[in-house]
Amino acid sequence: MTIGERIKYLRKDLLDLTMDEFGGRVGITKSSISTMESGKSNPSDQTVRFICREFNVNEEWLLSGEGEVFQAKSVNDEIVAFVRELSTDNESFKAQLVTMLSRMSSDEWDLLEKMIRRLANLDEVSPVQQKDTAEEAEYKKIHLENATKPAGMSSVSNTTEGTDQTA
């Protein structure tokens, strides 16, 4: 496979980008991409660097076909790329979620971690830990009851000396 064929494979098959989209991200024209992909010209060293940096491509693979297509990203690189993506659309769900997460207290982070670990079964939980506290059980009971009632009706129970009073 030639360098032009690898560029086309990267652009079309792996990244699913048009020539215009690909060129816009690396600063070259559609006609330049076309001539590179067809083998009529080779990319400049600068274009190779731009392609590798923009799409996290392994330069060795792009130039020779050897090695992996993409370079492994560090956690920090992934975060930077994600934040860069978020900065283009502040109204997206992702941006709103990250904003909410950035405002969480330490206690809220601890609770979120506990909930995610429980959902993912990452921690081995003993049978004692699996039992709900009385408050969790009451919370679930009320919300389950509300979910099964017709719209507009909810119950909150107050227990007074053995009698159940619905508010």
Residue 18: strand, helix, or coil: coil
What does the pLDDT look like over 79-101, one tens digit per residue? 888 888 888 877 889 889 988 99
CATH class of the region 3-64: mainly alpha
For 28-47, the DSSP string reads --HHHHHHHHTTSS---HHH
pLDDT by residue (tens digit) across 34-82? 999 999 999 999 999 999 999 999 999 999 999 999 988 788 888 888 8
For residue 28, which of 9, 41, 13, 16 has the smallest C-alpha distance? Answer: 41
pTM exceeds 0.75: no
Domain-by-domain residue ranges, the chain? 3-64
With both helix axes pointing from N to C terminus, report the angle between 19-26 and 30-37 in degrees, rounded to the nearest 10.
Answer: 110
